[in-house]
Amino acid sequence: MSSSRTRPAARRTARVLGLASAGLGVAMLRDPKGVARVSGVDDSATALSVIPLVGARELLHALPLLAGRPGWAWTRVAGDAVDLTAMGVALSHRGGERGRRLRTATAAVAGLAALDLLTAARSRRAGSRSAARELLPSSAPWKSAIDVSAAATVNRPPQEVHARWHDFSRLPEFMAHVREVRPAGIGRWHWVAEAPGRRTVEWVAEVVEESPGERIRWRSLPGADVENAGVVEFRPAPGDQGTEVRVRLAYAQPGGKAGKAVAKLFGEAPDQQVRDDLARFKQILETGQVVRSEGTPEGPLARRMAKQQPAVPRS
């Protein structure tokens, strides 16, 4: 992950971990016997041979971390797990002064491991926000930005699958929460969609990139009720088994985290919507129709669950 795409706090923490890795690595390579003595394992020939190898590993961690790449903290997390396991085994065979030193060293490694894990987790969250920033217009409120994705394999060639999605006016056929998509100028479409609470939201989106049979990218224009953007990619499936359709959407959901929680309560979580929409898209391309319950034509909304009826075809 590029350091330019992560938060400054995560980069600073990464550099601190890089300094720690560099210091440990140099010490282990220059004076393995001293490190073994401080750690309480100076009575082990195996430890004396392993410590330089661990030092070399620490230096490898240090380089990208010092460059401010917090994603590399995951490599330290993996190394911490190995070290703590080995130290736990060593503790079971040592007591007295060596046991005390080894317990102190183990506690220090555990503390670093916690910081490593925190930094690694922050890098993942920062990456998710960066992905949303890449898709969304620059004016979107990032604190409530949602980034979701889903994929499905459709047993049709990429050109045919692309052609069906290319006609945005037909998206409501499988996007259950989209009421209407109509032309609004060259490369522009006016969307009307349902929102939690039986409200509607509207926006005009423009197609900003399109490669026939490969990719379509769009984004909302200023003035949208909900700023959003998306990209759908069409890739040949392995073994000539149709097309892999990958969809990624980013939008600023009304109500922020609270709005998301309420949406999930009613079965309207964004990731669930995308998966369900892709399942219907697959049905349309492969069978020419969507089969679902009359009682739940828009997906598993809580208010409709009591009215389920036998499934019937819907063209």
Q: DSSP readout, 257-283?
A: HHHHHHHHHTT--HHHHHHHHHHHHHH
For the record, the structure tokens of 301 come out as 């909304």
Question: What was the pLDDT predicted at 145?
Answer: 64
As a whole number of angstroms, the distance between CA 119 and CA 107 comes to 19
In the predicted model, is pLDDT for residue 288 greater than 90? no
- φ, ψ of residue 172 to 5 degrees: the values are -60, -15
The CATH number given to 129-306 is 3.30.530.20
| Listed residue (138, 133, 129) closest to 222, CA to CA | 138
Q: For residues 18 and 115, what is the distance between their CA atoms, to the nearest angstrom?
A: 12
Tokens linked to 76 = 């330290």
pLDDT tier for residue 26 given thresholds of 50, 70 and 90: very high
Higher pLDDT, 261 or 63: 63
Q: Are 293 and 164 in contact (CB under 8 A)?
A: no
Determine which of 21-35, 104-118, 253-267, 286-300 has the lowest per-residue pLDDT on average. 253-267
User: Using an 8 Å Cβ cutoff, are 268 and 146 in contact?
Assistant: no
- Using N-to-C axis directions, what is the helix angle for 32-39 and 96-135, rounded to 10°? 110
Tens digit of each residue's pLDDT (9 = 90 or more) over 211-270: 888 889 998 898 888 788 888 999 998 888 899 999 988 877 656 555 555 455 445 567
- Are 290 and 265 a contacting pair, CB within 8 Å? no
Q: What is the pLDDT of residue 92?
A: 85
Distances, alpha carbon 175 to alpha carbons 169, 286, 306, in Å: 11, 16, 22
Q: Which amino acid does the sequence have at 123?
A: S
Does the predicted TM-score (pTM) go above 0.85?
no
Q: What's the mean pLDDT in 77-90?
A: 87
8 A C-beta contact, residue 34 and residue 27: yes
- 91 vs 182, more confident: 182
Exposure letters 178-204 (e unless 16+ CB within 10 A, then b): beebeeeeeeebebebbbbeeeebebe
d(CA 115, CA 15): 12
Mean pLDDT of the chain: 78
What is the rounded average pLDDT of the residues 42-55? 88
Mean pLDDT, residues 84-101: 87
Q: What is the mean pLDDT of residues 63-72?
A: 78
Percent of the chain with pLDDT over 90: 23
Render pLDDT for 154-190 as a digit per residue (tens, 0 to 9). Answer: 999 999 999 999 999 999 999 888 899 999 999 999 9
Structure tokens at 99: 């046991």
Note the pLDDT of residue 115.
84
pLDDT, greater one: 140 or 175: 175
Q: Are 55 and 17 in contact (CB under 8 A)?
A: no
φ, ψ at 40 (rounded to 5°): 80, 20
CB 248 within 8 A of CB 231: yes
Task: For residue 162, count other CB atoms closer than 10 A to its CB.
Answer: 22
| pLDDT for 136 | 52
Written as six digits, the tokens of 129 are 């926000």
pLDDT for the residue numbered 25? 87
Distance CA 47, CA 86 (A): 10
Cα separation of 8 and 13, whole Å?
9
Q: For residue 5, what pLDDT is reported?
A: 41
What is the spatial distance between Cα 173 and Cα 205, in angstroms, rounded to a whole number? 18
Give residue 9's pLDDT band: very low, low, confident or very high (50, 70, 90). low
Q: What Å distances lie between residue 256 and 131, 134, 159, 273, CA to CA?
A: 17, 19, 37, 18
pLDDT at residue 245 in the model = 93
